[in-house]
Amino acid sequence: MICSTVLVPSGVLGLGFDLKALENGLKRKPNIISIDGGSTDSGPHSLGSNTSKYSRAAIKSEWKILMQAREASNIPLLIGSCGTCGTDSMVDWMEDITIELAKELKQSIKIAKLYCEQDKNFIKMSFKNHKVLPLEPSLKLDIDIIQDMKHIVALAGAEQIQECIKTGADIILAGRATDTALISALPLMNGADPGGSWHGAKIAECGALCSNNPTSGVVLVEFDQTGFTVEAMSDKALCTIETVAAHMLYENADPFILFEPGGYMDVTNASYTIQEKGKVRVEGANWIKSDRYNVKLEGAKIVGYQSTLLVLLRDRHYVENSKTWIRNLSNFLESQIQEKMALDSSSYSLEFRLIGVNAVLGELEISSGNPVEVGVLCIVTSKTDTISTEIAKLINPFLLHYPLTDNEELPTFAFPYSPVHSDRGCVYEFALNHTLELNNPMEVFRIKISEV
Amino acid sequence: MSKLAENVSRIRSKNAGPFWITIDIFCGSTEVYKDVCKRLNNSEVADLLKIQGQDLKRFDIEKLNVIKFSFPRKIPQGDILDRDMHGAQMAVLLSEINL
């Protein structure tokens, strides 16, 4: 007997989905529409700067379709990790969009918001009390580093999402949450097999990426007491044993184990069968509950301010000797910066990447070729935006004219635009790879209800 | 001698959170899987990735004809020295390994 049917429109709001596939999915009478709204995949900037990676226009346009689908089907609509990073103000940002749409669509709705952002003082206290525990690979952490963080979020699990569902809200806007908890919460609440609930959630977390047509987006998962079945909703997409099983490997360091708040899932003994064409049946995953309830933390802190410059080499002599050229140039610039700005090389970072040579792999590159041209990307990072801009301006003329040897004509390379330097502003880094031990799942999470 | 990519059906790599990279080699058949399992040497892969041998985790997944490698990234995702945030180009290195 099916305990819960979950419709997943796509791997993330903002990426798009097939409208016909969504329509097909709604006809199957799901109990909830669940979608992810974030990730750390685009780096620390979203969390550090408290901004969404996707445009508001893209989010609003897709959210409108999902709000209409919810209204027509009269089922809850759930999004997690609002605004990419899932901070409190990104939950409010998503609420703004929701209220705006509710007015445009003339909908009356109850909204539950789950806040996941953490107070620095509480994290410091927890750290002192040995409640903040390192994950592998361990990062250095102390009170000062915690103080330096711009934002810290805790990843909600199924329990916190279930508390939101229990409020009877039409729309749930969750802060940072695990991708899987958004899908597993309802089936777990309704008595589905715990191992199957988490496994099905992991398979469906990226939408139709578990099918042979990833861009179609929409998948439907039916959860029951022994496992789950998954199928893609587009007429042009099929789930096969290979596409489904392969998704367990995706973005997972361990292909069998997935840690979640309150325990871990083990799929070592999972079996996959074709129930009918395009519909894969999965059973056999285990959920192992842990003694303690830990949630994962994410934090971002400022590393500095960045300016970049790009110069293009087309002259064959320089293209062939680009590595020597930047080595010489780098040493020369270091002395210029020391001389003119009285800055020691330890107080800033000046990096050159040779596009066309080894910009992607750096020291790992094993192939070489004869590029027609080489792009030289210079990345300046320092403590302030003023210093980074000054360094960028200081090195500008040398990037344009620096010769390989003293006794050759002064070269002039290609600058592709004006101004040559781009100020990238503040740059951040991930500063936590830790969990936080809780006394109860709601200890550091808050729910607020609003009606419109 | 042939390149690994010429023998298997697909090789992909991806970040697994901000601190790990994972590489999946889909062999496509039991025969290729068994052959690649035998010939793919862990220390050679670790050297290629310039990481310590003990940091490289290997999973031979017979059920799926997949060999998976995971390792902590030396430069975390989005760090100022990071060159490929999603680590998805790293698969190319393995593709070009000689078997």
Q: What is the pLDDT of residues A412-448, one digit of tens each?
A: 999 999 999 999 999 999 999 999 999 999 999 999 9
- Look at residue A441 and tell me if it is in a domain: no
Rounded percentage of chain A residues whose pLDDT exceeds 90: 98
Same domain, A59 and A170: yes
CA distance B83 to chain A (A): 6
- For residue A34, give both structure tokens: 């669940």
Gap between the terminal Cα atoms of chain A: 36
- Look at residue A142 and tell me if it is in a domain: no
| Runs of H (alpha helix) within B40-90 | 42-49
The β-bridge relationship of strands A271-276 and A279-283 is antiparallel
Contact across the interface for B80 and A427, Cβ inside 8 Å: yes
The pLDDT score that the predictor gives to residue A319 is: 98
Same domain, A212 and A334: no
Report, as an integer, the average pLDDT of A301-307: 98
Q: Which residue of B has its CA nearest to A298?
A: B18
CA distance A419 to chain B (A): 23
CA distance B47 to chain A (A): 10
Rounded percentage of chain A residues whose pLDDT exceeds 70: 100
Work out how many domains chain A is built from and give that number. Answer: 2
Same domain, A373 and A236: no
Same domain, A343 and A264: no
Q: What is the pLDDT of residues A353-365, one digit of tens each?
A: 999 999 999 999 9
Three-state DSSP at A255 gives coil
| pLDDT surpasses 80 at B33 | yes
ipTM of model: 0.95
pTM, to two decimals? 0.96
Rounded distance, CA B60 to CA B66, Å?
6
Q: What is the pLDDT of residues A65-75, one digit of tens each?
A: 999 999 999 99
Q: Which residue of B has its CA nearest to A427?
A: B80
State the average pLDDT for chain B: 95
Total residue count of chain A as it appears in this document: 452
Q: What is the pLDDT of residues A97-150, one digit of tens each?
A: 999 999 999 999 999 999 999 999 999 999 999 999 999 999 999 999 999 999
Segments making up each domain of chain B, as ranges: 4-95
Residue B63 with chain A: CB contacts under 8 Å: 245
Same domain, A101 and A24: yes
Cβ–Cβ contact B37 with A under 8 A: no
Q: What is the DSSP letter of A207?
A: G
Report, as an integer, the average pLDDT of B86-91: 97
Confidence of residue A406 (pLDDT cuts 50, 70, 90): confident
Same domain, A318 and A358: yes
Q: What angle do CA A169, A175, A180 make, to 5 degrees?
A: 85
Same domain, A324 and A351: yes
Same domain, A257 and A323: no
Q: What is the DSSP letter of B98?
A: B
Pair A186, A337: CB distance under 8 Å: no
| pLDDT surpasses 80 at B1 | no
The pLDDT score that the predictor gives to residue B99 is: 84
Cβ–Cβ contact B75 with A under 8 A: no
Residue A43 with chain B: CB contacts under 8 Å: 18, 77-78, 82, 85
Supply the CATH number for residue A372's domain.
3.30.70
Rounded distance, CA A79 to CA A161, Å?
10
Range of the domain at A238: 2-116+155-290
- Look at residue A440 and tell me if it is in a domain: no
